[in-house]
Copies of this chain bind each other. A is one copy, B any other.
Amino acid sequence: MSSLKNDRFIKALLGEAVDRTPVWVMRQAGRYLPEYRQIREKAGSFMNLCQSPELACEVTLQPLERYPLDAAILFSDILTIPDAMGLGLYFIEGEGPKFKRPVTSEADIEKLTVPDPGVELKYVIDAVSLIRKELDGRVPLIGFTGSPWTIATYMVEGGSAKYFSNTKALMYDRPDLMHKLLQKNTDAIVAYLNAQVEAGAQALMIFDTWGGMLTTRDYQDFSLAYMQQILDRVTRQSEESKVPIVLFTKGGGQWLEMMAASGCDAIGLDWTIDIGTARKRVGDKVALQGNMDPCVLYASPERIKEEVAAILKDFGHGSGHVFNLGHGIHPGVNPDHMGALIDAVKELSPQYHQ
Q: Mark A210-253, 1 if CB is under 8 A from B, else 0.
A: 00111111110000000000000000000000000000000101
* Residue pair A295, B330 in contact (C-beta under 8 Å): no
Closest B residue by C-beta to A162: B330
Q: How far is the CB of A341 from chain B (nearest CB, A)?
A: 13
Within 8 A of B (CB), among A307-321: 307, 310
* Residue pair A299, B173 in contact (C-beta under 8 Å): yes
Stretch in contact with the other chain, from A2-10, A17-25, A105-113, A268-276: A268-276
* Residue pair A172, B273 in contact (C-beta under 8 Å): no
* Residue pair B295, A165 in contact (C-beta under 8 Å): yes
Give the oligomeric copy count. Answer: 2
Partner of A273, one of B169, B213, B254, B293: B254
Given A172-B295, A298-B172, A277:B216 Cβ within 8 A: yes
Q: Does A332 contact B (CB under 8 A)?
A: yes
Given A254-B254, A298-B165, A332-B165, A272:B212 Cβ within 8 A: yes
Q: Does A303 contact B (CB under 8 A)?
A: yes
Q: Mark A270-297, 1 if CB is under 8 A from B, else 0.
A: 0111100100000000000000011110
* Residue pair B298, A173 in contact (C-beta under 8 Å): yes
Q: Does A46 contact B (CB under 8 A)?
A: no
* Residue pair B303, A172 in contact (C-beta under 8 Å): yes
* Residue pair B272, A214 in contact (C-beta under 8 Å): yes
* Residue pair B163, A299 in contact (C-beta under 8 Å): no
Since A168-B296, A168-B298, A215-B274 are in contact, a sample of 12 more A-B pairs with Cβ atoms closer than 8 Å, ordered by chain A residue number, is A163-B294, A163-B330, A169-B295, A172-B298, A172-B303, A172-B307, A173-B298, A173-B303, A214-B293, A215-B271, A216-B274, A217-B310
Q: Does A351 contact B (CB under 8 A)?
A: no
Q: Does A164 contact B (CB under 8 A)?
A: yes
Q: Which chain B positions have C-beta within 8 A of A296?
A: 168, 172
Q: Does A300 contact B (CB under 8 A)?
A: yes
* Distance in angstroms between the alpha carbons of A165 and B299 in the assembled complex: 10
Q: Which chain B positions have C-beta within 8 A of A218?
A: 293
* Distance in angstroms between the alpha carbons of A218 and B298 in the assembled complex: 16
* Distance in angstroms between the alpha carbons of A176 and B127 in the assembled complex: 48
Q: Which chain B positions have C-beta within 8 A of A274?
A: 215-217
Closest B residue by C-beta to A306: B172
* Residue pair A215, B168 in contact (C-beta under 8 Å): no
* Residue pair A168, B273 in contact (C-beta under 8 Å): no
Could you jot down 23 A-B contacts, CB within 8 Å? A163-B294, A163-B295, A165-B295, A165-B330, A169-B295, A169-B298, A169-B299, A172-B295, A172-B296, A172-B307, A173-B299, A173-B300, A213-B272, A214-B272, A215-B272, A215-B274, A216-B272, A216-B273, A216-B274, A217-B310, A251-B251, A253-B253, A253-B254
Q: How far is the CB of A313 from chain B (nearest CB, A)?
A: 12
* Distance in angstroms between the alpha carbons of A58 and B277 in the assembled complex: 48
Q: Which chain B positions have C-beta within 8 A of A272?
A: 212-216, 219, 251, 254
Q: How far is the CB of A323 from chain B (nearest CB, A)?
A: 15
Q: How far is the CB of A259 from chain B (nearest CB, A)?
A: 14
Q: Which chain B positions have C-beta within 8 A of A164?
A: 295
Q: Which chain B positions have C-beta within 8 A of A294?
A: 163
